[in-house]
Amino acid sequence: MSAQQELALVAVPAGMVVVTKDEFYAALFADKRDIMPTVEAREHTPWRFVQNRAMWGWCSTGYASKFGAPEVYAIARSAS
């Protein structure tokens, strides 16, 4: 399966821009606000601002993802 086909199988939330894993973590470490991953979903990981719970980013894998699930990273348009 190609990367494009894998991406088509993953539902990226509206208002998010897909980025590479390296771009995601570079943006996360560059942002000085308090941003943390949440466990509100089993199959994916929302990353939220601690102060107001607004969505900063998103990852297609979560704590209960299947082994080998495609990893897709996205950042909210307003955060990028």
For 35-78, write each residue's pLDDT tens digit: 999 998 888 999 999 999 999 999 998 888 888 888 999 999 87
State the DSSP H helix or E strand holding residue 7, giving kind and residue range, or none if neither: helix 3-9
| Residue range(s) defining the domain that contains residue 14 | 3-76
User: Cβ neighbours of residue 19 under 8 Å, at least 6 residues apart?
Assistant: 27, 73, 74, 75, 80
Q: What's the predicted TM-score (pTM) here?
A: 0.80
Domain count for the chain: 1
* pLDDT of residue 15 exceeding 50: yes
For residue 60, give the nearest of 2, 19, 15, 1 by alpha carbon.
19
State the DSSP H helix or E strand holding residue 75, giving kind and residue range, or none if neither: strand 73-76
